[in-house]
Structure 1
């Protein structure tokens, strides 16, 4: 098996005296194991409840609060540290904690969804909509955020950035969305939210591994008397393959978004002109699951939808299904008294 040496990165090298601090921050088994696990599960449960409630209420502020409380970043980076140190036992342990924690948050979301009388899905909830269609830009964001998080953990002088990292990376909210959408029967959206979590998790492990290797954590750990085993190339290849596996569906998602934008760009002037000719006002135009949704508002008589279909066909959109929603009459104020 090929052995990899830690790369040199001037100015980033971790001193041996910082190894115990890093181990204490990332390994739940380091120090008081029972206390660490109790803290982890209490915080994770509360974060799951806050995240699910924030999603149901469609409250960005509440969801951000859950991101700050959530402790999932610790065992994920602990997995990266175990990978760097080639500690198989710690690797399996912390990876198991991450998976068990993720399952717990999904269950919390599902149970909370049982108490909600309406469906919590993307069409009616912006918090859900923003987490069920991950794209390549989400992977790029996760990679950058993971680098910042790893850097902040190996450098104690910049650890104040960790709350910002918790907000930038989305871990618990997507898991809550998985449970809520699954309870609503929207399994496709559940899969999208799960993909977002997997993307963020893979990016954090990959970037955490890179930053720790660059900081020569292996050398520092050896100097501090910590057992460090040979790091094989297969371990790093596995991390790279995981990134590729999540990047493929993200790339497809990005391509779908591009196609939707092209459809909207071509359909907007057509729909705008049609609404004006009918004496109506175009109020919304969007693409959902390949179908163009046109919403217009006005007064009777009902507008001629057949004319819109003909205009769309003439604009090269003959293969795009369209749905027209006509809001008749608009709104009226009814003052008290």
Structure 2
């Protein structure tokens, strides 16, 4: 008879019970994992964070809590809770010491992202808890439990709590603490449900009323913990929708300008756009403000910050932005400023290079540059670069722009530069 590949209920109980003994080796592994994860968060490196979660032993006491509550085993529940608190305490202190010694202590995006748990974190923890118990039942070694440790991110919130402790920032500490609570609670609750489904023998005689009370208690706990995450998820969705609308608005309505930076401030209900070129008039800004309603941004105030002085922005900053913009537009199959069909990639690159060179050379003397394509009589594709200079520039400046344009189009007979008024 073929031997079963899964553990019996008693073997599963023994496996989880044996895994929650506090061991010096596990504490040392945990501290190492926390330091590795802290470095990953500090340096914005997801692979390093994932590696830390793989070696973390913190899943065992969480599963032990679910098993203890489901089997009415007060001893197992108490031991699992003590081990979880002990490991969490060591992890937070180790992370705080790391950030105390680290020369880089700014709040990276990886750190900030662990301070706002949402309903999706709860859903991940639910399915992760189910997968974790299924993996724990397997006799053969498998990667299910380590995978659950990665998916449910139990380690990073503890690192961020350590960061919040070091910075004495309650928002980081309690935000990450809530994420850790969400993950632990829902893994524990799903472990509780799986153990109930498997009908693992209870460690004491209980009547149906007592068993029903415990189930209600678990459901109430789940709802209590989930409510703030639902609100957080709603806020996150609103922010992301506003961000997407803002990106669409800027790419469409600012297509003739180079936008150095755009930022949407949800707290102050502002869309801040930094551009290169001559300062936009109040009438232009007012027209743009009116158009924001077409992008569901009625409640936001448009703030345009103009970089009109070349001394206030280095050419390296301009070059870096323009290179990123050129890569983005090529990835989207052409610039939106082009009329009708998209130009071929070599021609597009030449036109983008000309646009970059002109803006870099005359950042405060050119209002806008528009790229468009045309077709010659022979059917070949040609490019047209329309340059709109500032209304206040001198004749010498206009001549300088024309000379630079001639220099840039030398040898490129399929590109024409027009100086418009």
Same fold (TM over 0.5): yes
For 2:15, the equivalent position in structure 1 comes to: 24
Establish whether residue 80 from structure 1 lines up as the match of residue 66 from structure 2: yes
For 1:301, the equivalent position in structure 2 comes to: 278
- Deviation, structure 1 residue 215: 1.4
Aligned mates of 2:266, 2:216 — CA distance in 1:
37
Aligned mates of 1:304, 1:26 — CA distance in 2:
72
Mapping 1:1-337, distance limit 5 Å: 15=8, 19-20=10-11, 22-28=13-19, 33=21, 36-121=22-107, 125-157=108-140, 159-218=142-201, 227-230=203-206, 232-273=211-252, 275-276=254-255, 279-281=257-259, 283-287=261-265, 289=267, 291-298=269-276, 300-303=277-280, 308=285, 311-312=288-289, 315-316=292-293, 317=297, 319-320=299-300, 328=313, 330-332=317-319
| Relative contact order, higher structure (CA 8 A, sep 6+) | 1
The TM-score with structure 2 as length reference comes to: 0.63
For 2:332, the equivalent position in structure 1 comes to: none
Q: For the Cα contact (< 8 Å) 2:273–2:305, is it kept in 1?
A: yes
Aligned mates of 1:324, 1:107 — CA distance in 2:
44
Q: For the Cα contact (< 8 Å) 1:283–1:296, is it kept in 2?
A: yes
The TM-score with structure 1 as length reference comes to: 0.77
Cα-Cα RMSD: 3.1
Aligned mates of 1:42, 1:229 — CA distance in 2:
39
Task: Select between 97-106 and 245-254 the one with higher mean Cα deviation.
Answer: 97-106
Closer, same or farther: CA 203–283 of 1 in aligned 2, 3 Å: same
Aligned mates of 2:8, 2:237 — CA distance in 1:
47
Larger radius of gyration: 2
Task: Select between 310-319 and 126-135 the one with higher mean Cα deviation.
Answer: 310-319
Q: For the Cα contact (< 8 Å) 1:274–1:308, is it kept in 2?
A: no
Any unmatched runs of 5+ in structure 1?
Answer: 1-10, 220-226
Q: For the Cα contact (< 8 Å) 2:158–2:180, is it kept in 1?
A: yes
Aligned mates of 1:320, 1:145 — CA distance in 2:
39
Question: How many aligned residue pairs are there?
Answer: 304
- SS of structure 2 residue aligned to 1:156: coil
Q: For the Cα contact (< 8 Å) 1:296–1:325, is it kept in 2?
A: yes
- Deviation, structure 1 residue 325: 5.8
- Deviation, structure 1 residue 139: 0.9
Task: Select between 262-271 and 106-115 the one with higher mean Cα deviation.
Answer: 262-271
Aligned mates of 1:26, 1:83 — CA distance in 2:
13
Closer, same or farther: CA 302–42 of 1 in aligned 2, 3 Å: same
User: 1:212-266 deviations in whole A, cap 9, x for unaligned?
Assistant: 11112227xxxxxxx4442622222222222112211111111112222343344
Q: For the Cα contact (< 8 Å) 2:66–2:189, is it kept in 1?
A: yes
Aligned mates of 1:314, 1:83 — CA distance in 2:
58
Any unmatched runs of 5+ in structure 2?
Answer: 308-312, 321-421
